Structure 1
């Protein structure tokens, strides 16, 4: 199900503000994820941030490999923080992950 038009606009605006130089293909995947039903009750900026981090983690880091090697989710997430922030830096993100922040 597609998000209502106002929500899609808010997601697009938040995505552009958070990731000004992300590749189009990545932005489209993040935009689609941020609009999914399980993130619908969150403000668009939070939904976009969670979708960004999940996308980068799964598509641009060793996260999946760490899980396959037997690491639990929290440990795998910890070990890919630097890789995630490298991608965020390349995409000129306005926000980054902090190892002390347990909300992501």
Structure 2
């Protein structure tokens, strides 16, 4: 993960600050999502946070299973919030998801 555009370099730097202990396999997936075209209008730190929260929610929790079981989106998000924050803590993030904020 070296070289690239200024935005890619800024994104990698922001990733190291936000998630200092994230495993490389997850870091690469999060970085790819954060660099997606639909997030290009956002500052790197915000695009990275959105990509991180989405990645954790869909890949590392039961969120999609809850949706398939008929839970509404907000309810499913509520039930995976603690699991998501545990992942953020494991990865060394100082930031946490707040149940009162939309991510």
- TM (normalized to structure 2)? 0.93
Q: Give the RMSD, CA atoms, in angstroms.
A: 1.0
Residue 96 of structure 2 is aligned to residue 91 of structure 1: no
Q: Match for residue 30 of structure 2? A: 30
Measured against aligned partners, the alpha-carbon deviations of 1:37-67 in whole angstroms (never above 9, x if no partner) come to: 0000000000000000000001111101101
Question: In the TM superposition, what are the counterparts of 1:10-25 in structure 2 within 5 Å?
Answer: 10-25=10-25
Q: Match for residue 5 of structure 1? A: 5
What CA distance in whole angstroms lies between the structure 2 residues aligned with 1:84 and 1:59? 10
Q: Match for residue 63 of structure 2? A: 63
Number of residue pairs matched? 100
What CA distance in whole angstroms lies between the structure 1 residues aligned with 2:73 and 2:11? 27
Q: Match for residue 100 of structure 2? A: 100
Query: Gaps (5+ residues) in structure 1?
Result: none
What CA distance in whole angstroms lies between the structure 2 residues aligned with 1:72 and 1:38? 25
SS in 2 for 1:84: helix
Q: CA deviation at 1:100?
A: 1.3
What CA distance in whole angstroms lies between the structure 1 residues aligned with 2:48 and 2:23? 15
Q: CA deviation at 1:74?
A: 1.7
